[in-house]
Amino acid sequence: MAKRNLIPWYFIAAIFLVILDYFGMLNGIKKPAELVIMPVQKIIYQTITSAKNIGNIYWQYPHLFQLTTEVEKQKRINEELMLRVRELTEENSKLRSQLEAPLPSSFKFIPSQVLGISRFMLLSVGESSGVKAGMAVVSDTVFLGKVVKTTSSRSLVMLPNDPEMKISAKTSRGTIGEVVGQFGGSILMTRILQKEPLFLDDQVITAGSDSLPPNLIIGKISHINSDDTAPYKQAKLTPLLDYQKETTVFIVTSL
Amino acid sequence: MILFFAILTLCIIIESSLITFPFTLIITFLTATIWEERGELLAFVAGLILDLFTLRFLGIDSLFFLILVFLWKYYRKRIYPGSILYRLIFLILAASIYSFLFYREINFMKLVLVAVFGTFILFFVNRVFPRVWEKGKLSV
């Protein structure tokens, strides 16, 4: 009996699935699958993140005795500092109530754990927590990226070094430009007019003109590429955080 | 088959959570070229699992892997199927296109790693299942 060629059927099935998923008709199937996938990814990512310190421990092993003494000393200092922190916290609390100081920011945040970083950063919160595509992701005041896709319980975040990322930005001196990711993972600030001031170590922040919150730090200028004949100059940025080491991040839901 | 799915799951988890390296493509392609009668099924299922983990549109990776298996089967008739070199060249080309489409990068070092990893897998299979290659050889 002749063997049936099944490739066309698999092709049709794959194309059919892509179309259905594009229109969001497979969310009902994907939701139960995520209940299994999320814990697995979380455990693996956290284990690997912790395992990155093993090399460091091995390197420090010969200095173990010295380190133990140092730890004891640090513990004592820590106790003193904790006492000082307690005093300062009380003092701060009193001062705040006295001055009726408002919260430092009107932003609302959704905390999220990082499930993994490949091309995108994978987060453990999704539509069910109010996350939507386009929202900014931060750690303190550092911009980590923007949400590009969500499911009910997971989200994908495009990082600033992604080749498809484009952000309106300005430097700490007010120079306006556009931050774009590059093939190979570097970040560039482009479309800067030749006459605008640009210096090394200037911080680059979001301009707030493309639905992202303003004044989030994208990175600092590490290299300037200026050609007098070109209408624009550009600068290479160094991020302030190592995206690969982030374990908890915050999604900005409202400005 | 169990071994394949165990390795595949590990590769998918690593690829989706830790590194932009086409482990799944390598494993799926090499396995599909060895177990040719099940190649399409393996490519389809591996693609679906990878899509679920990476949040891509369900079926998009399956489609890529199926095209790969189809092209391999199409050109296989013109080359000696036991040759590791042809598979590796095919694999590196596929990995380059895959990395560009899904990870927006073409990294020369990673392509070298693809070749090394692919060679390792092929030698491993050759040792564990030495008779797999025999089917393709002509004998008098």
pLDDT at A102 over 60: no
Question: Pick the residue with more confidence: B125 or A239?
Answer: A239
Question: Pick the residue with more confidence: A67 or A155?
Answer: A155
pLDDT of residue A1: 47
What does the block give as tokens for A1?
A: 């009996």
Is A171 inside any structural domain? Answer: yes
Mutation choice for B interface testing from A40, A118, A127 by most B CBs within 10 A: A118
Best CA proximity match to A122, nearest among B52, B39, B135: B52
Is A9 inside any structural domain? Answer: no
Note whether B31 contacts A: Cβ–Cβ < 8 A.
no
pLDDT digits (tens, 9 = 90+) for A213-223: 888 899 999 99
Of A69, A99, A129, the last residue of a domain is: A99
Q: How many residues does chain B have?
A: 140
Cβ pair A122:B48 closer than 8 A: no
Partner residue opposite B55 with nearest CB, options A15, A26, A154 = A154
Note whether B63 contacts A: Cβ–Cβ < 8 A.
yes
Question: Pick the residue with more confidence: A20 or A41?
Answer: A20
Three-state SS at A176: strand
pLDDT at B133 over 70: no
C-alpha A115/C-alpha B17 separation (Å) is 7
Residue A20: closest C-alpha in chain B: B58
Is A221 inside any structural domain? Answer: yes
Is A176 inside any structural domain? Answer: yes
Note whether B106 contacts A: Cβ–Cβ < 8 A.
yes
Is A187 inside any structural domain? Answer: yes
pLDDT of residue B140: 43
pLDDT of residue A156: 93
C-alpha B137/C-alpha B140 separation (Å) is 10
pLDDT of residue A121: 92
pLDDT at B137 over 70: no
Q: CA of B65 to nearest chain A CA: how many angstroms apart?
A: 10
Contacts of A100 (CB under 8 A, 6+ apart): none
pLDDT of residue A229: 81
pLDDT digits (tens, 9 = 90+) for B76-127: 777 666 677 888 888 899 999 999 999 888 888 888 998 898 888 888 777 7
CATH, residue A219: 2.40.10.350
Q: Is the ipTM of this complex over 0.85?
A: no
Element (H, E) at B39: helix B39-54
pLDDT of residue B68: 92
Phi, then psi, of A103 in degrees rounded to 5: -65, 145
Best CA proximity match to A245, nearest among A41, A51, A38, A39: A51
Partner residue opposite B104 with nearest CB, options A22, A156, A164 = A164
The mean predicted confidence, pLDDT, of chain A is: 84
pLDDT of residue A95: 59
Partner residue opposite B55 with nearest CB, options A11, A156, A163 = A156
Q: CA of B83 to nearest chain A CA: how many angstroms apart?
A: 24
To the nearest 10°, report the CA torsion of A33, A34, A37, A41: 170
Is A131 inside any structural domain? Answer: no
pLDDT at B16 over 50: yes
pLDDT digits (tens, 9 = 90+) for A134-191: 999 988 788 999 999 998 889 999 999 998 999 999 998 889 999 999 877 789 999 9
pLDDT digits (tens, 9 = 90+) for B21-78: 899 999 898 888 877 778 888 899 999 999 999 889 999 999 999 999 999 888 877 7
Q: What is the mean pLDDT of residues A12-34?
A: 88
Is A138 inside any structural domain? Answer: no
What does the block give as tokens for A202?
A: 């200037």
Domain span holding position A212: 166-238
Q: Which amino acid is at A136?
A: A
Cβ pair A16:B13 closer than 8 A: no
Is A229 inside any structural domain? Answer: yes
Cβ pair B105:A151 closer than 8 A: no
C-alpha A148/C-alpha A131 separation (Å) is 10
Cα end-to-end distance, chain A, whole Å: 67
Please list the residues that pair with A171 across neighbouring strands. A204
pLDDT at A103 over 60: no
Cβ pair B47:A14 closer than 8 A: yes
Model confidence, pTM? 0.71
Number of domains in chain A: 2
Q: CA of B97 to nearest chain A CA: how many angstroms apart?
A: 14
Q: Which amino acid is at A223?
A: H
Residue with tokens 């200037």: A202
pLDDT band at A34 (very low <50, low <70, confident <90, very high): confident
Under 8 Å between Cβ of A122 and A41: yes
